[in-house]
Structure 1
Amino acid sequence: MYIAYFDESGDDGYPNYSSQLFVMSVVYMEESNWKQNYEIIRKFRKFIKDKYGFPIKMEFHCRQLIQDKHPYHGKYNPQERKELLELQFKLIAALDLKIINVVIDKHKITSNNYDVLKNAFTYSLQRIENDMLSEDDNRFIVITDEGRIEKMTAVSRLLQRINYIPSLFEEGSYRNDLKTILEDPLPKKSQESYFIQLSDTLAYIVNLYAQRNLIQNPINWPRRVSDVLNYGDEEELLEILLRKQRLNLKANKNNKFGIVHYPK
């Protein structure tokens, strides 16, 4: 059985929204690897506490850390914030897990009824399911932050009843109800889950990557971000995961990092 941890970057509103992009990231692992992964993270958190004074129990919230916002404001200079981010990616690369990232570009949406969260979660679940079916028909459960649990529960229940997937070879779609997901998504506070915090980090950096590489008119990063990262640094961070084969490249074979990008 696999355990899948989800988090997001950007808002999921549409047609009214504050961010052009919505990113959903998931890290998932075999339950037999959970304890070993947890111990590696715990040792990492002790390391950054000793070196940077980063409290072991403090949530690693990527956007707030990079932009020097509460609860990190004034505690780390730009170089230290960049180092902490690079170390976080090296940590993820050292763990025995897989990663899927989904980006929704609202500027490409043509229907006012488009449900951003529903579609992002659907694309994520479909690709985990494909992975499960390729590995001796495995099963998985979903763990996510409490904020969107009600909507994600409704989506997962719907997909287990009826799920249409666009065909790659002909017009129309075919029915493929999800078979490998177990239970409703389970809620957990992000500050109490190192694994949700990893997904948070991934979602934010993929958002920065998408802003420069996946949309028609690239977005300039906020000054607070540019104080820490240069354009291209986000790609170098993703390269760390690529080299260690942590990214599920089958999720989208048309993107170097396997990032799923909709609408097409």
Structure 2
Amino acid sequence: MNTRIVYCDETGDDGLNTNSSSAFILTSLSMPTESWQTNYDTLKKFRQSLKAEYGFHTGMEMHTKQFLTDKNPYRTFGWSTEQKIDILKKFTLAIAALDVSIVNVIIDKRKIKSNDYSVLEHALTYNIQRIENDSNGDWNFIIITDKGRISPMRKTARAIRAYNPIQSQFGGYVNKPIKYLIEDIMEKDSEESYFIQICDFVSFFVHLYYKTRYLEEPLPNRVGKLITPEFVGRVMATLANNGTLNLKASPKKYGLVIYPK
């Protein structure tokens, strides 16, 4: 059986308070193990080109929210608006060139009715379910995530190996335990992983897309000084048209998985 490697990162607060964020997005990026080196080489070459053109060092983390809001260390480069937009475009095209499949799960915290609802647990469960469905028994997978939430993520992944209720088309629920996730979820510092940084990039743009297209809210002030909602839409369209987004994850546009329903 073949194996895929899955990387995860998120945008938003996984608490129930909607003041800090109205939605929580968990993004996963998976690839066949045999594609890992080629994907890594593609990203390394891309990052080397950014260093040559803009001085963006290959070892510097791309933290998308901080980049878009012009915070350090990015502010110190003194890039013009046109240069920053060009960097974002090149990041998008680099991601679209990878042999990966990306799933985005959105938990809209405004729709949560129960005080016992675990945002992170549900987001991770729905994401793993989509990866498992995509496998269809042809491959298994391991998950690597950014540091910070490893304990509850491991607990959730262990639990759904034994009990994973899925709504039946005949009514009620059936238990369909996760079978193809191997090992505990592992953690890695995002600063040391181009792939986790890619999850961060996609997750934040999904957040912006959901905010502007679904919630019909404006972009955050500092973000809106650099890009437009139309730019956000073009990023999403590029990733979808190049087959990077897993459109089978959901019938919604761009395969976005949105809960609670």
Matched-pair identity in %: 40
What amino acid is the match of 2:50?
Answer: I
Listed as ranges, the gaps of 5+ residues in structure 1 are: none
Q: Per-residue CA shift, 1:20-61, capped at 9, x if unaligned?
A: 011011110000000000001000000000111101100011
Cα deviation 1:109-145 (Å, max 9, x = unaligned) = 0111110000000000000000111xx5210000001
Bigger CA drift: 176-185 or 84-93? Answer: 84-93
Aligned to 1:54: 56
**Are positions 1:247 and 2:245 aligned together?**
yes
Q: Are the equivalent residues in 1 in contact too, given 2:18–2:109 (CA < 8 A)? A: no
Output the CA distance in 1 between the equivalents of 2:81 and 2:156. Answer: 40
Residue 120 of structure 2 corresponds to which residue in structure 1?
117
Judge conservation of contact 1:13–1:116 (CA < 8 Å) in 2. yes
Number of equivalences: 258
Between 17-26 and 100-109, the greater mean CA deviation after superposition:
17-26
Match of residue 256 from structure 2 = 259
- Say if 2:162 is the partner of 1:161: yes
Residue identity matched to 1:263: P
Could you tell me whether the CA contact under 8 Å between 1:15 and 1:112 is conserved in 2?
A: no
Measured in 2, the distance between the counterparts of 1:250 and 1:45 equals 30
Is 1:78 aligned with 2:81? yes
| Pair 1:189-2:192 in alignment | no
Cα distance in 2 for partners of 1:83, 1:104 equals 31
Using the size of structure 1 for normalisation, the TM-score is 0.95
Once residues 77 and 196 of structure 1 are traced to their aligned partners in structure 2, the CA distance between those partners, rounded to angstroms, is 26
Secondary structure at 2:130's aligned position in 1?
helix
Q: Which residue of 2 aligns with 1:11?
A: 13
Structure 1 equivalent of residue 31 of structure 2: 29
Q: Bigger CA drift: 73-82 or 202-211? A: 73-82
- Contact 2:18/2:110 (8 A) holds in 1: no
Q: CA RMSD in A?
A: 1.2
Q: Is the 8 A contact 2:63 2:200 kept in 1?
A: yes
The letter of the residue matching 2:167 is P
**Using the alignment, how far apart are the partners of 1:128 and 1:11 within structure 2?**
23
SS of the residue aligned with 2:177?
A: coil
Q: Deviations over 1:172-222 (max 9, x none)?
A: 22111000000001110000000000000000000000001223xx22222
Q: Distance in 1 between matches of 2:15 and 2:73?
A: 26
Q: Which residue is equivalent to 1:170?
A: 170
Deviation at residue 17 of structure 1 after TM alignment = 5.1
- Structure 1 residue 232, shift from structure 2 partner: 1.8
Q: Secondary structure at the match of 2:149?
A: helix
Say whether the 8 Å CA contact 1:149–1:185 is kept in structure 2: yes
Q: Show CA shifts across 1:89-119 (max 9, x none).
A: 1001101110100111111001111100000
CA contact (8 A) 1:146 1:187 kept: yes
Match of 1:87 in 2: 90
**Matching of residue 65 in structure 1 with residue 62 in structure 2:** no
Deviation at 1:227, TM superposition (A): 1.1
The answer to whether residue 97 in structure 2 is matched with residue 100 in structure 1 is no
Q: Is the 8 A contact 1:25 1:202 kept in 2?
A: yes
Amino acid at match of 1:70: N
Amino acid of the structure 1 residue aligned with 2:207:
N
The CA distance in 2 between the partners of 1:176 and 1:77, in whole Å, is: 52
Unaligned runs of 5+ in 2: none
